Amino acid sequence: MYADDAPKIPAGAVASEDAELIVDLARQGPVKMKLVLTPQTLPEVESANVIGDIKGSEHPEQIVIVSGHLDSWETATHNSRDRVDERRERIGRLQAVREGS
């Protein structure tokens, strides 16, 4: 949340395929782009985190923390490859917890 007197700085997300294209073009020379941003301030809403606690079978007194994140704009700007990659990462973390418990 911004302080009332803080400057408001708009931000824009770029899908990884678009970012890769920009990098490839920049390697060839200067790149000129036009970005149209439509920033908006939405009302505050309740948010939540998912927390799980799985006791290990060999060392239940030890703690292993596995974390991740979900981009708030994931379904709006990422292409299908990004979504698959992020889901694959989440599944990998869950599998690591399962195998380690």
Q: What is the pLDDT along the chain (101 residues), one digit of tens a residue?
A: 668 888 877 777 777 788 889 999 999 999 998 888 887 778 888 877 777 777 778 888 888 777 766 655 554 444 555 555 666 676 777 777 677 65
pLDDT at 71: 58
pLDDT at 82: 53
Q: How many other CB atoms sit within 10 Å of the CB of residue 13?
A: 13
Contact indicator for 52, 96 with CB cutoff of 8 Å: no
Rounded distance between C-alpha atoms, residue 68 and residue 86, angstroms: 10
Paired tokens of 84: 């698959």
Give which of 82, 98, 90 is closest to 19, Cα–Cα: 82
pTM: 0.41
